[in-house]
Amino acid sequence: MNDLPRQRNVENQAEGAPFAPVVMKFGGTSVQDAAALRRVSKLVKRRLELRPVLVISALAKVTDQLLSAGKLAAQGNEESAKGILQTLKQRHEHLVAELITGEEAAELAAFLQDEFQVAEKLLHSIATEGEISPRAQDHLLGLGESFSSRVAAVALRQLGLDTVFVDAKQCIITDAVHTQATPLWDDTNERLQEKVGPLVKAGQIPVLGGFMGSTRDGIPTTLGRGGSDYSAAILGAGLQACRIEIWTDVDGIMTTDPRLCPDARRVPRMNFQEAAELAYFGAKVLHPATLLPAKRRNIPVWVLNSKNPESNGTEIVADTDASGRVKAVTAKRGISVVDVEPVRWLAPELLREIFEVFEKHHHGLDLLSASPNSMSLLVSTTAGLPVIAEELKGLAHLRWENHKALVSLVGEKIRRRPEIASQVFSSVADIEMRMICQGASERNISFLVDEAQAEEAVRRLHKLFFSVQETQPEVVPFQGLCQAGGPWQS
């Protein structure tokens, strides 16, 4: 397991520089049961010289189950919703019974009792309202991390670590955009230095839940699904960490999803931009926003396997080789394509107004392709599109198609290797493509296909670029191409 930053940290300490901790984030499968938490304790003990700070996700599948309970309550099925809650309560109580003894076990049992009562009241409120509002959803889903981080803090202490639970909601201060909150950086950094910094300096191990924060008024928020990675990066930046470790159940970032291609390989090293684009275009191993705080502070990020800690994982840093090699292939499913046809013409003022309407309804746009008379947008959900279409009536006509997938190849400067695009489109020539884009970034080539054809496209492309060792030709300048249902334009 890679311990390279240790010497650097000791040197910094000797020079009197601020001590740079390591932030270790453990995903749901890494803390899902007693055996997993025992593995976590061993991993943390190997990092003690680096002064670890821990970020703990909800136990595996808990967030999904809480969301299901919320939806059932909103549909008026409160008893079924409470049944899910009871199952979750028993799971956490069983975990406590396996790992924790004495007075701390009794205190933790009382805490869980109180927290699950809060969850029951919240479900009742959702059932009464007949809907799960974004604010209620944040409160409900954030409880998963609250349960797990409190249990983990006590369990790890009884396993021999000097852990201290810290409420993440008192540290990560955000705006009030529920379900997708953004940190208020000055407030957050100040809280981290106040509440976490002294514990690190004292040699204790702070344990925080991921995914959640709160507004300045103390209202619970969340950072979006998978946001525990983002929490780790926020802590890393705020505490000026020596590195951030994302512990999951795979050996690192892979060349593609191993479930699709069993011969998928580990990518040893990527730069921040490559990893961010890979996450944005569908790779599940990292939250898309994770790398922004780390990049700003130039903090290396490692993706590691808690079940196979001897694997070297994937290191993500500021600079890597720019040989123009494809690093990975991915597919982002659940995409809808929205065609926007202006009533008159596609003027800049109209574009601005269209984007403002989408932003007003919290609709993130994945990709844009335009021609003089129309444009195509990719979105991750069609919810709200009828309202947007009505609001734009008189300015533009909207129509949309569901069940699409965005297939992407990622690698630094692959746009500068013209033969890559040729090979890509030759290998999937018999698969209908709706939108092809190359050129907005030098490090990705993307195209849209029917969701049912995405897996086949990924398999072919992975075989093309990773089944044999390719010889890298000279990198040459190359102009981007863009096509959206019409002729090629350069």
Angle (CA) 230-19-23 rounded to 5° is 25
Give the C-alpha separation, 245 to 55, whole Å. Answer: 10
What is the model's pLDDT at position 362? 67
What is the model's pLDDT at position 416? 77
- At the second CATH level, the architecture of 328-483 is 2-Layer Sandwich (3.30)
- Cα 151 versus chain centre, distance: 23
Residue spans of the domains in the chain: they are 18-317, 328-483
Task: List own/partner pairs for 93-98 with CB under 8 A and 24 or more apart.
Answer: 95/33, 95/34, 95/37, 95/59, 95/151, 95/155, 96/151, 96/154, 96/155, 98/33, 98/34
Do residues 30 and 249 lie in contact, with contact meaning Cβ atoms separated by under 8 Å? yes
Full pLDDT tens readout for the chain, 490 residues: 554 444 334 334 434 345 799 999 999 999 999 999 999 999 999 999 999 999 999 999 999 999 999 999 999 999 999 999 999 999 999 999 999 999 999 999 999 999 999 999 999 999 999 999 999 999 999 999 999 999 999 999 999 999 999 999 999 999 999 999 999 999 999 999 999 999 999 999 999 999 999 999 999 999 988 889 999 999 999 999 999 999 999 999 999 998 899 999 999 999 998 998 888 887 777 877 888 899 999 999 999 999 999 999 999 998 877 677 899 999 989 888 888 888 877 777 777 888 888 888 767 776 667 777 788 888 887 788 889 888 888 888 888 988 999 999 999 888 778 788 889 989 999 998 877 776 567 788 888 999 999 999 999 999 999 985 544 444 434 333 333 333 323 2
With a CB cutoff of 8 Å and minimum separation 6, the contacts of 302 are 2, 243, 244, 245, 246, 313, 314, 315, 316
What is the model's pLDDT at position 286? 82
- At the second CATH level, the architecture of 18-317 is 3-Layer(aba) Sandwich (3.40)
Give the C-alpha separation, 329 to 462, whole Å. Answer: 7
Amino acid 112 reads L
What is the model's pLDDT at position 376? 84
